[in-house]
A and B are shown apart, each in its own frame.
Chain A
Amino acid sequence: MIGPGEVPRLPRGVRVQPDRVRGGWVLLAPERAVTLDAVGQAILAEVDGSRSFGEICARLAAAFGAPEAQIAEDAGGFLNALRERLFLEVSP
């Protein structure tokens, strides 16, 4: 699981862009295209390579008016799944 002080970032070769034909957003990675739902897109919009996971959760909690612990669990699960597929890197 990502720690609150760790900084997630998209590695080279992974990017998020609007899907101008189908609508919504898509994560593009080597030989993969993953359709993002609104929640996934909101989380990745906070991943800028400088914010820590703790900061990201605090910002999402404020934006969505949700408890930070709940956000941390949801966002952590989502980001960990991306990390396992090597679509996300985490630095201490």
Chain B
Amino acid sequence: MTRPPIAMLAELTHRCPLACPYCSNPLDLVRGAAEMGTEDWARIFREAADLGVLQLHLSGGEPAARRDLVDLVAAARAAGLYTNLITSGIGLTAARLAALDAAGLDHVQLSLQGTDAAMADAIGGLEGAFARKLEVARQIGEIGFPLTLNAVLHRRNLHQLPRAIEMALELGARRLEVATVQFHGWALRNRDALMPSREQAREAGQIVAEARARLRGRLVIDYVPADYHGDYPKRCMGGWGSTGLNVAPDGTVLPCHAAQTIPGLEFWSARAVPLARIWAENPAFNAYRGTEWMAEPCRSCERKTKDFGGCRCQAMALAGDAGATDPTCVKSPLHADLAARAEAHAAADAAFVFRPAPGRETAGQGA
């Protein structure tokens, strides 16, 4: 029997007031009119809890763009799920936060596009967003929600990492995620603008290590390093079809948020098929589950159950084969080429290609 998943990411909507150049949502966004309604989501939350999911991440797009967000949180808590809201803060008001509190929301993860208005508003493509976010952070603190700050870092704002750590303390966050941009979705198009230099990546690692030691017991720091500059790939999703699953706004169930970039995989919808059956039987979930699918050099590698050959979507994007070793691994034949490309991306001085107002054309529909 397949081991049950621990976490589910519910992409409630792809609509978002921000237009970040590293958006991880797919290039083809689900339009507002195709989003599932409250009842479908509530049923899927119950199916997830029955399957063994413990942690639910309500994400997007911007989940606050859903008018029924409070009802969705209440439904998740009624299903027994630990409920986390992943938000930019835009669209949350004091009254809405109070309603989310009453509905039982467990935790808020607030994204940080920069540590000042000039940077944050430029990255998110929305004037006033930073000031609004700080106000929401203050209201989150007043209610007492446990807060994680998620600082998304890249070449343009990595120098703000020390300030992001200070902000996490000032805002009373318990956790800080220092997430170097991962090159999926829209970020792939912006590698020439976003790729950190090797020196920046090294320095970020040192700053995180120093802060972790200094703030032990006060702030937990999770760190996602720049993987084009690393030696070994990430343990993507804890292993494909192993610990987590994603549900897209229209109910399509995915092993990870980028899985639709892999051709030939057929994804099933939670609107039509029970979640437990999708988890166990959907061939897309079984395609890269475990280690049987691996070729060399992964097959005989002593790290194969540590990182599961890295990210399948990255192997697809960079090697043209989702079954290949993730080229961010030193054992990949493409690694030397990737390292050279990373240097070239980092040296380029390209302007951002912004997402053209994701979902704004559909604002007001759905939800």
List residues of chain A with CB under 8 Å of any chain B CB: 11-15, 17, 19-22, 26, 28, 30-33, 83-86
Which residue of A22, A31, A86 is within 8 Å of B84 (Cβ)?
A31
Given contacts A17-B80, A83-B217, A86-B220, contact A33 B54 (CB under 8 A): yes
The yes or no answer to B115 lying at the interface (CB within 8 A) is no
A17 / chain B contacts, CB cutoff of 8 Å: 80
Q: How far is the CA of A41 from the CA of B175 in the complex (A)?
A: 24
A83 / chain B contacts, CB cutoff of 8 Å: 217
Rounded to whole Å, the gap between the CB of B87 and the closest CB of chain A is 14
Task: Let me know if A13 and B145 touch, CB within 8 A.
Answer: yes
Rounded to whole Å, the gap between the CB of B51 and the closest CB of chain A is 7
CB nearest to B175 among chain A residues:
A30
Rounded to whole Å, the gap between the CB of A76 and the closest CB of chain B is 15
Task: Let me know if B54 and A11 touch, CB within 8 A.
Answer: no
Which residue of B52, B80, B148, B219 is within 8 Å of A30 (Cβ)?
B148
Given contacts A12-B144, A13-B106, 6 further A-B contacts (CB under 8 A): A11-B146, A19-B52, A21-B4, A28-B54, A31-B148, A84-B216
Binary contact readout B47-68 vs A (1 if CB under 8 angstroms, 0 otherwise): 0001110110100000000000
List residues of chain B with CB under 8 Å of any chain A CB: 4, 6-7, 50-52, 54-55, 57, 80, 82, 84, 106-107, 109, 144-146, 148, 174-175, 216-220
Given contacts A84-B217, A85-B220, contact A31 B51 (CB under 8 A): no
Rounded to whole Å, the gap between the CB of A5 and the closest CB of chain B is 19
B107 / chain A contacts, CB cutoff of 8 Å: 13, 30-31
Given contacts A13-B107, A13-B146, contact A30 B84 (CB under 8 A): yes
Q: How far is the CA of A46 from the CA of B217 in the complex (A)?
A: 22
Task: Let me know if B146 and A26 touch, CB within 8 A.
Answer: no
CB nearest to A84 among chain B residues:
B217
Rounded to whole Å, the gap between the CB of A35 and the closest CB of chain B is 10
A12 / chain B contacts, CB cutoff of 8 Å: 144-146
A20 / chain B contacts, CB cutoff of 8 Å: 80
A11 / chain B contacts, CB cutoff of 8 Å: 146
CB nearest to A26 among chain B residues:
B54
Q: How far is the CA of A17 from the CA of B148 in the complex (A)?
A: 22
Rounded to whole Å, the gap between the CB of A75 and the closest CB of chain B is 18
Rounded to whole Å, the gap between the CB of A47 and the closest CB of chain B is 17
Task: Let me know if B146 and A22 touch, CB within 8 A.
Answer: no
The list of the 9 closest CB pairs from A to B, nearest first, reads A13-B146, A21-B52, A28-B82, A30-B107, A33-B54, A86-B174, A13-B107, A30-B146, A84-B217
